[in-house]
Amino acid sequence: MRDIETYRVRPGAKVNLAKIRTDDDGGMTRADGVAAFRGLRKRLGRLQELLYAEGKHALLVVLQAMDGGGKDSTIRSVFSSISPQGCKVVNFKAPNDVERRHDFLWRVHENTPRLGYIGIFNRSHYEDVLVARVKDLVPAERWKARYAHINAFEKMLHDEGTTVVKFFLHISKAYQKERLQHRLTRPDKLWKFDPADLAERERWDKYQEAYEDALHHCSTRHAPWYIIPAEHRWYRNLLVAAVLVQTLQSLKMHFPKPNFDPRTIVIR
């Protein structure tokens, strides 16, 4: 596996997605990658227990991708060792009437994890500089201002104890076609297909440009973006797990000390 810093977007760096491989496998074999991932997944489960027990930190994981990029399967695979009682997954769809009457971060803030918990955003507040931009839902001066609002919001979360880490699952247009076609041939996957997805696919270039700007403006020291090659799902899972394990280990957590002497306890 390549050093995970290879995939991190440096603060202020320009991003050209067309020049970044979507099928990178880190020079590993699938067998070696799967074995390494299993070890990291176990470690992630232990770190989540420690996070929950200590109760001093929270972790917010943001997943963004083009349709077919594998957000759902990443969540299923990477977080399968996590205790459900300490984790919450939120899927941000188009805002409802109430949400549209508030600022764009209103519905997001109430879903951030409390201390001791992991929160996973399947799509996120970044939709408001992606979909809102590509589909002209708000004026340009409004979505452009949102980069600064997002950075300030994520900095506030960081300062209050929530570590933010963000993943863009990077796929090619050809791979997306393959995944969409796969849904059409599987009765158990048809529910995931929406003909409207094809209209979004026609906006592929505009979405790539919007993602490049979001990654450029909003990858910060306190809330980094990682561009994850996502066409080899085993390598995608390995990279995401590696980043999360490293991130949680950096918090230097400890199990809380008991407020009693366990040697004096006699259970009859």
The Cα–Cα gap between 192 and 198 comes to 13
Residues 6 or more apart whose CB falls under 8 angstroms from that of 39 comprise: none
pLDDT tens-digit readout, 103-123: 999 999 999 999 999 999 999
Tens of pLDDT along 191-212? 888 888 898 999 999 999 999 9
Is pLDDT above 90 for 186? no
Instruction: Please give the single-letter amino acid code of residue 226.
Output: Y
What span, in angstroms and rounded, lies between the C-alpha atoms of 255 and 122?
30
Question: Phi then psi for 221, rounded to 5 degrees?
Answer: -60, -40
Cβ contacts of 168 within 8 Å, gap of 6 or more: 64, 65, 211, 215, 225, 226, 227, 228
pTM: 0.95
The answer to whether the beta carbons of residues 206 and 125 sit under 8 Å apart is: no
Contact 42, 4 (CB under 8 A): no
Return all residues near 113 (Cβ < 8 A) that are at least 6 apart. Answer: 58, 59, 60, 88, 119, 162
pLDDT tens per residue, range 129-138: 999 999 999 9
Alpha-carbon span 186 to 204, nearest angstrom: 24
pLDDT band (50, 70, 90) for residue 171: very high
Look at residue 135 in the predicted model and tell me its pLDDT: 96
157: its two tokens: 């979360």
Structural domains in the chain? 4-251 (3.40.50.300)
231 versus 191: the higher-pLDDT residue is: 231
Say if residue 166 is exposed, middle or buried (CB neighbours under 10 Å; 0-12, 13-18, 19+). buried
> Distance between alpha carbon 106 and the CA centroid of its chain, in Å?
19
Confidence at 74, pLDDT banded by 50, 70, 90: very high
Q: How far, in Å, are 170, 206, 220 from residue 9 at the CA level?
A: 13, 20, 8
CA distances, 245 to each of 39, 47, 241 (Å): 11, 8, 6
Q: Is 5's pLDDT higher than 90?
A: yes
Tell me the HSE value of 175 on the side-chain side, using a 13 A CA sphere.
18
In the predicted model, is pLDDT for residue 1 greater than 90? no
- Asked whether the predicted pLDDT for residue 240 surpasses 90, the reply is yes
